[in-house]
């Protein structure tokens, strides 16, 4: 610079000015700092299935240690296609319609980068999984938020207002992101709701990007429906899923997109230049995971149901009001009873004084005030972890 003064900010992209660091991952750092029970970040603290760990070990031993085909190992893509047909009745061509990425996280970014132009808008329900906002910005698009309204009785479903959703669609809308089962609310979108979204997508010629990473984690008779299975949606949907949540391997970083060939081609190009490929031996283990019997998925959902029903009474006893999730592994709570100024001061107190980490609700909203009375807890944890959290939370009750 002419005046010889270094101004580091000068080197930064304007894009990063528009989003902050992940609050969820920051809470994990704080949990470690304060030796708190981490009910913030959604990773299991119990072992992954032995069969798939064995498959990963075998793959490394067999020297599957070099780049996989950039869009994914053939046997994993075939397993993904087989599962989608058996599960959702959707016929998928593994050669032209599947791209394996580094987790669903990369799948979402690669998809948005592949489809968005400057000025495009992406419709996102809020509260939302916090990556969707920055992902839209990174890809040059503008997020348009539409509220999911909480049930008054805490038991019913979070719902969107059809008029509000329609009002968010315009000729600038490129895509809508649908996350079902939903993080953080636990909402499972019904067929009727998905049909309403389908009709808007068709009317406005909009793409659906659907994050179904919790699709196998359902309670109380809820049914997972992939929007791509609805008439008229197959050709305008990118379905995203991954191994992280279904097989308790969030650190493996294997996810995928399923999309029509033209969109898949574009996603593959972005993915190739972003990451080249997902970890090769873990893709082999992925093929083994997707071959697990039906009983695995029943056990998975039953296990999470038991964890949900272990944590919620402890939260209620401590003074939280809990929105009952019908899918995924989070409980959104109402913290009004504790009298804190906002969700951030509450979670700071919780992690430092009580020893439990949770996520402030504001991180799931565009305007922090909308989440100021909400806090999210993850229950993808061992019974001992949840019981220890419950024990600590009782002290909070005494503070009330």
For ligand PLP, what does the binding mask look like between residues 363 and 382, x meaning CB under 6 A?
--------------------
**Taking CB under 6 A as the rule, does residue 42 contact ligand PLP?**
yes
Question: Smallest distance from the beta carbon of 8 to ligand PLP, in angstroms?
Answer: 30
Distance in angstroms (rounded) separating the CA atoms of residues 242 and 180: 14
Distance in angstroms (rounded) separating the CA atoms of residues 156 and 144: 25
Distance in angstroms (rounded) separating the CA atoms of residues 226 and 141: 24
**Taking CB under 6 A as the rule, does residue 97 contact ligand PLP?**
no
CB atoms within 10 A of CB 310: 16
- Smaller CB distance to ligand PLP: residue 49 or 340? 49
For ligand PLP, what does the binding mask look like between residues 103 and 122, x meaning CB under 6 A?
xxx-----------------
Burial of 258 (0-12, 13-18, 19+ CB in 10 A): buried
CB atoms within 10 A of CB 152: 7
- Smaller CB distance to ligand PLP: residue 246 or 318? 246
Record the tokens describing residue 283, joined without a space: 């893709």
Which residue shows structure tokens 């019913």? 156
At 177 the three-state DSSP class reads strand
Applying CB under 6 A, which part among 27-35, 102-110, 138-146, 279-287 lies near ligand PLP? 102-110
Cα 365 off chain centre by: 15
- Nearest Cα to Cα of residue 294 among 54, 90, 87, 94: 87
- Determine the angle formed by the axes of helices 50-61 and 280-290, rounding to 10 degrees: 140
At 189 the three-state DSSP class reads coil
Paired strand residues for 218: 327
Among 136, 183, 257, 363, binds ligand PLP (CB under 6 A): 183
Whether the CB-CB separation of 245 and 214 falls below 8 Å is answered with yes
Among 211, 347, 376, 396, binds ligand PLP (CB under 6 A): 211
Applying CB under 6 A, which part among 101-109, 149-157, 163-171, 224-232 lies near ligand PLP? 101-109
Among 49, 133, 215, 242, binds ligand PLP (CB under 6 A): 242
Helix (H) or strand (E) holding 236: none
For ligand PLP, what does the binding mask look like between residues 128 and 167, x meaning CB under 6 A?
-x--------------------------------------
> CB nearest ligand PLP: which residue?
103
**Taking CB under 6 A as the rule, does residue 286 contact ligand PLP?**
no
**Taking CB under 6 A as the rule, does residue 355 contact ligand PLP?**
no
Burial of 361 (0-12, 13-18, 19+ CB in 10 A): buried
**Taking CB under 6 A as the rule, does residue 213 contact ligand PLP?**
yes
Among 255, 281, 355, 360, binds ligand PLP (CB under 6 A): 255
Applying CB under 6 A, which part among 68-76, 85-93, 98-106, 301-309 lies near ligand PLP? 98-106
Which residues of this protein are in contact with ligand PLP, per CB under 6 A?
A: 42, 103-105, 129, 179, 183, 211, 213, 242, 244, 250, 255
């Amino acid at each position: 610079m002419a005046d010889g003064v270094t101004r580091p900010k000068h080197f930064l992209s304007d894009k990063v000015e528009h989003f902050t660091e992940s609050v969820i991952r920051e809470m994990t750092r704080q949990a470690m700092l304060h030796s708190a029970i981490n009910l913030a970040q959604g990773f299991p603290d119990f072992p992954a299935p032995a069969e798939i760990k064995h498959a990963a070990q075998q793959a490394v031993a067999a020297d599957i240690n070099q780049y996989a085909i950039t869009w994914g190992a053939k046997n994993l893509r075939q397993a993904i296609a087989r599962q989608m047909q058996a599960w959702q009745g959707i016929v998928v061509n593994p050669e032209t319609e599947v791209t394996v990425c580094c987790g669903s996280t990369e799948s979402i970014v690669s998809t948005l980068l592949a489809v968005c132009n400057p000025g495009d808008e992406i419709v996102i329900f809020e509260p939302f999984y916090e990556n969707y906002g920055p992902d839209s910005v990174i890809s040059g698009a503008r997020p348009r938020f539409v509220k999911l309204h909480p049930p008054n009785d805490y038991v019913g479903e979070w719902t969107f207002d059809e008029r509000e959703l329609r009002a968010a669609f315009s000729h600038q809308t490129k895509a809508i992101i649908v996350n079902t089962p939903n993080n953080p609310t636990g909402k499972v979108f019904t067929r009727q709701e998905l049909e309403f979204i389908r009709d808007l997508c068709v009317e406005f010629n909009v793409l659906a990007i659907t994050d179904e990473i919790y699709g196998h984690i359902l309670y109380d008779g809820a049914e997972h429906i992939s929007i791509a299975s609805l008439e008229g949606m197959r050709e305008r949907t990118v379905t995203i899923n991954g191994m992280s949540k279904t097989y308790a391997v969030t650190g493996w970083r294997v996810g995928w997109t399923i999309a029509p060939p033209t969109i898949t081609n574009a996603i593959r190009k972005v993915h190739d230049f972003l990451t080249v490929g997902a970890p090769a031996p873990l893709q082999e283990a992925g093929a083994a995971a997707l071959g697990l019997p039906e009983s695995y998925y029943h056990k998975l959902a039953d296990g999470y149901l038991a964890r949900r029903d272990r944590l919620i009474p402890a939260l209620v006893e401590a003074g939280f009001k809990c929105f009952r999730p019908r899918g995924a592994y989070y409980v959104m709570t109402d913290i009004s009873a504790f009298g804190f100024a906002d969700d951030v001061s509450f979670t700071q107190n919780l992690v430092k004084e009580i020893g439990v980490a949770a996520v402030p609700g504001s991180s799931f909203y565009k305007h922090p005030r909308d989440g100021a009375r909400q806090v999210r807890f993850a229950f993808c944890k061992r019974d001992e972890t949840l019981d220890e959290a419950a024990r600590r939370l009782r002290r909070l009750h005494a503070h009330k």
